[in-house]
Structure formats: C-alpha cells, structure tokens
Amino acid sequence: MAAFDPPLPLGVAFSGGADSTALLVACAARWPGQVVALHINHGLQTAASEFEHHARVLCAALNVPLRVRVVPARHAPGQSPEDAARNARYAGLVQLAREAGAQPTASVAVAQHADDQIETLLLALGRGAGIAGMSAMPALWERDGLLFQRPLLGVAGSALRSWLQARQIRWIEDPSNASLQFTRNRIRAQILPALEAVFPQFRDTFARSARHAAQAQQLLDESAATDWIAVTAEASTSRALHSMPLRPLQQLSATRQSNLLRFWLKQQYGVMPSTAQLTELLSQVAAARTRGHRIHLRVGHGFVVREGAVLAWYNPTVLHPTN
C-alpha cells in the first residue's frame, strides 16, 4: 500500500465489508478531498439495503462523497451467475467513475487482498486452467479506458481486520461469506489455514508463481498479436477485421492456432472457449479444407460459425433479443 500512487481523483469500490472499508479509510486519510466511494448494489441479497445504508453512514463520518448505482446481475444463457455479477459490477463502477455532473475519477481502486488472490489461483488450478487462469488477478488493468488497481494484493485479510479493529472502525459482514456451500468459502475456511501450517510463506510464494504465469501469458498474447496481424494482413473491410480468415490460420501450427483463437475471441468478443470447445474448434479448422465444410460451434454464450472463407462469432441473444 505504501507504494500505491494512483492518478487522482481516486474512486474506491466500496461494498461496506472489511476489505473495502480498510481501503477506503486508508485512501481517504492519505488523499483527503481526492477520494470518492463507489457503491454497487446488485440487489442479490436481502442485506443489500443494509450494505448501502452502512456505506452512507461511514462515508458521512469520513466526509467522503458516495456514489451509488443499482445494477442488474442477470446472466445470459451459457454465462455463469458469478461472471454476470462481476461484469455488471465493473460496468457499474465505470459508469459511477464517469458520472455526469460530477468530477470524474481518474482511477479506481478495488480491495481484493492476498487471500483473495490465493483463492482465485486455487480455483483456477481446480478447474485445470491454463497460464491465463494461473495468472490470477492483475494488480493493474484497464477497462473501458479507465485504470483499475488492486493495492492490497500483498496484504492478508486478517491483517486488514486487525487494522480496522485497532482503530475501532466498524464494517459489515456479508452473510454469504459464512456459507460453506460456496467453493471459495471452503477454500478460505479449510484450505488456507492448512497451507499456512505447512507453508507459512505461501501467500508470497503463490503470488510469485502467479506473477510468473502472468509474464508467460503476456508473451503468449504478444505472439498471438503478431500472428493476428499476419493472418488478417489481406483483410480490407471492418467486417473482415473482426473475423478470422481460415486459410492463413490453417498455415499455423496447432499450438499457435489455439493461442490465436483464444486471443481473437477474448479481444474481439470478450469470451473464452473451454478446453473442450477449443479442441473441437481446432478439429473443425483442420477439417475445413473444402469450401462446403460447415462450422457452427458454441463458444461462451455465443457461436463460432464459418462464413465462406472466414470464421465469425455471434451471440444470438444480442442479434435476436427476447422481449
């Protein structure tokens, strides 16, 4: 946190929980008059109104402006409820940060900490994730042109609570955090204590592995970007630039095809194919040597299709929305 030097004014994603409370209090003390609290109300729990009330009370005590947005968190077919809630939350934070009629915030800080990072890494390993999943959460990234930062990734959750207790600052507990029906909660309650007993420095060493994975992923992305330029070199229309030409794609090795297809789908459409979907897609690309070979595969919440000499992706819920 000492090295945290964000562009100001700073928005702090503030739920009212211990982690975001510690982040907001620390930032408000360090940059008085330059911090705005951003509260997203999903309406997913009966306690949502209690979270918002607590946020208003604490922000008034800290003399920190509070902006609140209620966002829907319905998930699309093929999309997990967790992904839908996360996407809605970050879209809401971007909107709040740029709220009309108020001074826009230059950056946004979110309060995920070291335990959250380890949980994310273990969840990724449990799913058999690749390098991207093992990179866990980045400390800094951009979304819709806005800078987001996670300054607490090196701090344990227990340290944040101890810091608040020493200052007699209240926070509100999310009731869902106590439920062991959620895998993340079971990791927090059962696996992290066992890891700490065997590997006392596991937060640091696991975080180091995640950073190594992130560096490897960056190399893969740079390689895919180079391949993307080569594969689309002859594309001339805006439609073609969002499609994947089949013939030059087929000239790449299967490994580079796989890397480029992931890159294309993520960068252009924000979707990531599962291992099974990508394996089938690679098989279809290999078979698509004749013009008549049909490709129509589900990927994410949409479909990859063959349109003549190119691959394209579409989302039927966007093309044909329900009323």
Phi (first) and psi of residue 272, to 5 degrees: -130, 120
Identify the CATH class of 235-319.
alpha beta
309: CB partners within 8 A, 6+ apart:
245, 246, 247, 291
Question: What's the pLDDT tens digit per position in 250-287?
Answer: 999 999 999 999 999 998 888 888 889 999 999 999 99
Which of 76-80, 129-133, 181-185, 258-262 shows the highest mean pLDDT?
258-262
Length of the chain: 323
Q: Which amino acid, 298?
A: R
Using alpha carbons, select from 121, 111, 89, 109 the residue that is nearest to residue 188.
121
How high is the mean pLDDT of the chain?
A: 88
Pairing status of strand 10-13 against strand 107-109:
parallel
Q: 319 pLDDT exceeds 50?
A: no
Q: What is the pLDDT of residue 320?
A: 43
Q: 74 pLDDT exceeds 80?
A: no
Identify the CATH class of 10-206.
alpha beta
Q: 321 pLDDT exceeds 50?
A: no
Q: What is the pLDDT of residue 64?
A: 96
DSSP 8-state secondary structure symbol assigned to residue 104? P
Alpha helices in the chain (DSSP H): 18-30, 48-62, 81-97, 114-126, 131-134, 157-166, 183-186, 192-198, 202-231, 238-241, 246-250, 254-269, 275-287, 316-319
Q: 2 pLDDT exceeds 90?
A: no
Measured distance CA(278)–CA(297) in Å, rounded: 10
Question: What's the pLDDT tens digit per position in 26-56?
Answer: 999 999 999 999 999 876 566 778 888 999 9
